[in-house]
Structure 1
């Protein structure tokens, strides 16, 4: 019997270690009670304070926020209309909004709430600061329309969905923290994810990165940084690819040359050899550099302009239009000449018929045929 009891006790302790502790977030932006409630949702709620242990965690969270000015924080404590304040109760007739519970081991009120049944009231946690940390002054109540900083508590009953990461990767899940993951991509890149209060996975330190893209490769010359963004790789620093000076560019690099103190972009002049002929005249000719001397290095990613096609098309169109206009003019001239000729011939025929009769007409016709 004792053996079985020991086994159950060990099992219970193992389960207890795997149950995540409640986590709190302190928000210094001031909102009304209702807006603060909605801000915490869906993964959190305005915190309850069931005991001294939870109070200590909350005070530590407030201190870690490094805020020494805000002394009043909304908590999930509320008294509805029609419910009377009862001074003998621990929560004085208030209840925790997360579960409507009225239980709490923390019994300190900084100011006793006024006895009323008709007014809606909401609860605050009052704190003060010393050189060593934050200290609680107890609960207070006020109208729910006032604006204060507030404290959200993680809803451990709601779980973040599994992160969706494209491409092959490994996912490391800490046993005691269901709200963090470590992603190890095939490339070796590692990213830490955290689950937000809205139950959304984000990269720690950069909430705007699409986590599904983390393990996808960037374009050539780029690599993902710790925040998950594709950043330019400085090849000049990492691999020293150039013999002389290296210039990093966006997504690539360039190798530059230095020619005996001349401008870095000025090509070297080939050496010359002086020759003498029989007439004592001097003649020079360039000599080729030795094979073991490098006069050029490859420059990567040099874009060559292919030329503007409009320089060819536009003149061709203009020439075609001029040719068409000339054809029209020539056709008009020919047509006019033919018309004048036909008019003259008709006029001659008419004159011949009128003066000489048909015989003259025949001569005219014979003349035309010749």
Structure 2
């Protein structure tokens, strides 16, 4: 990486201006392990503006990439300070600074990146703010140096490689993390950033940890549940219910379910008794037919024997 070749001034926090014009993704890659800067606090914004005014030749207007992006699947939310964008450093939407030169166009299907636009009067900053622009645009960018994160101090850890670790929480939950990306942070196997303050916290009743450290609902209605009628899985719990003819649900212990059970028993009895009667009649008919056939065969055999005996006497 040649990120530091164009450094003009390095104020506190180790911010650097990179003068090469690059698209957003390339700008992120070009300064690894550094990250595109945030503007999450008033102090950060003041330091960045001071760096710009000290580092660039007098110009009327300049635009820089900062580490702010909206994913394709996320929506622009005009009520939020970052308008639904997230800092690429940690994935957060926290910001004390709410300064846009124009609201981003509402979309939930397009990736957008944010750039810092600054206007000058000689070397004095007269106007500045964020702009939502296509990520393929090319601008200068501002980054800050970072160091690779230390292994999380949660329970015990087993090193799986130079940038991977198996974390065993005190509760016995095991989670695999790897250090990857720009910015280089600890991530789960799906590459989502790991919240190291929460991944080992116990889940509330009815929830359990998944492979990514998230508390997900337990399906209490899996085979073997204790419901007499129907089991409905709910968030963190479940309900045993019965249904009437209109599909309305009632709790299993309610009078409606008792009536339903009685009705079901009555219906079963009403069906079972006629079936048993029909079966009995059929069995009886079969017995009568078998007996009748047997008697006929026996009588025919006796008649045949008598005829043969008389024939022998006449001969």
Fold match, TM over 0.5?
Answer: no
Query: Using CA pairs below 8 Å that are at least 6 residues apart, which structure has the higher relative contact order?
Result: 2
User: Larger C-alpha radius of gyration, 1 or 2?
Assistant: 1
TM-score (norm 2): 0.42
TM-score (norm 1): 0.36
